[in-house]
Amino acid sequence: MPLATINGIQLNYQVKGSGDLVVMIMGTGSPGRVWDLHQVPALLAAGYRVCTFDNRGIAPTDECADGITIEDMVADTAALIEHLGGPAHVIGTSLGARVAQELALARPELVRKAVFLAAHGRRVALQKALSEGERELDAQGITLPASYRAAITAVLNLSPASLVDQMAAQDWLDIFAFSKAETSRGVRAQQNLDDFGDRLAAYRRITRPCLAIGFADDRLVPPHLAAEVAKAIPGANYVELPECGHYGYLERPDAVNSAILDFLTG
């Protein structure tokens, strides 16, 4: 990935393919390369030019550990699209969906169509409690045992359907157990973005074609929150995918890719 000065920071990004530009925005704590597993190959095969990048907070992009705002991340994405000669189709998941939603509102001239995976325009009590609990564990310097951390990650992010097969379940647990346990200062700054108000009324002013995708078994961002976003945006479409948790784009990539491509090409 090349590093370039984008919106005043060093931003790490990658572009593949040719055709209409698609910019993909990852969620909290995850690098842009996660999209390379399933979504980038499908978009390239469909004839798109695809850009993935590491959000501020994720090295080697500047960590910006002193603080990150959603406005910062929207401006980063807007400047990247301009750098690449946009406008662009924009796809985001979780925190990345929020960035895409706010981008479509603030800079509609840069957005052809927008897709929001695990869309949400407000938080519910469980989300608030989880965020507060994670911050408290971090503040106290508590590191959960790897096996327990893996189990909690699986329960919160995967559909029960993904855990029925015991070999597949163990594969997921192994992946989560071997992932980095320490929270970097940049990721902590991203996690603080979880505290925000109700944005649904503002989203009524979005004018770009939008698709909100809800994952039926998503415990972190329940699908009714995605349906609310679609209802708020005039003319937006809503798709709810069964047997998907918060990581639906990894659990059922074919279904996710089909929903995205049907919308972009429709």
Task: Say what the pLDDT of residue 225 is.
Answer: 98
CA distance 176 to 148: 10
Domains of the chain: 3-125+185-265 (3.40.50.1820)
Please answer whether residues 218 and 161 qualify as being in contact, where contact means their C-beta atoms are separated by less than 8 angstroms.
Answer: no
Backbone angles phi, psi at 7, to 5 degrees: 55, 35
Please indicate whether residue 198 is annotated as part of the active site. no
Q: Which of 94, 131, 159, 162 is catalytic?
A: 94
Number of H helices, E strands in the chain: 11, 8
Q: Is 76 a catalytic residue?
A: no
At 193 the pLDDT is 83
Query: What is the DSSP code (8-state) at residue 28?
Result: T
Which pLDDT tens digit goes with each residue over 27-56? 988 999 999 999 999 999 999 999 999 999
d(CA 138, CA 244): 28
Three-state SS at 99:
helix
Q: Which of 13, 31, 32 is nearest to 83 (CA)?
A: 13
Residue 181, pLDDT score: 61
Angle at 226 between CA 220 and CA 228, to 5 degrees: 125
* pLDDT at position 134: 84
Give the active site residue among 62, 72, 159, 246: 246
What distance in Å separates the CA atoms of residue 33 and residue 247, rounded to the nearest whole number?
Answer: 14
Q: How far is C-alpha 177 from the chain's CA centre?
A: 21
Q: Which of 190, 186, 232 is nearest to 212 (CA)?
A: 232
Catalytic residue among 20, 54, 76, 218: 218
Half-sphere exposure of residue 253, counting CA atoms within 13 Å on the CB side? 11
Per-residue pLDDT of the chain (266 residues; tens, 9 = 90+): 688 999 999 999 999 999 999 999 999 889 999 999 999 999 999 999 999 999 999 999 999 988 999 999 999 999 999 999 989 999 999 999 999 999 999 999 999 999 999 999 998 888 888 888 888 888 888 888 889 999 999 999 999 999 999 999 999 999 998 876 677 888 888 888 887 889 999 999 999 999 999 999 999 999 999 999 999 999 999 999 999 999 999 999 999 999 999 999 98
Whether 246 is a known active-site residue: answer yes
Q: Token pair of 225, please?
A: 């929150």
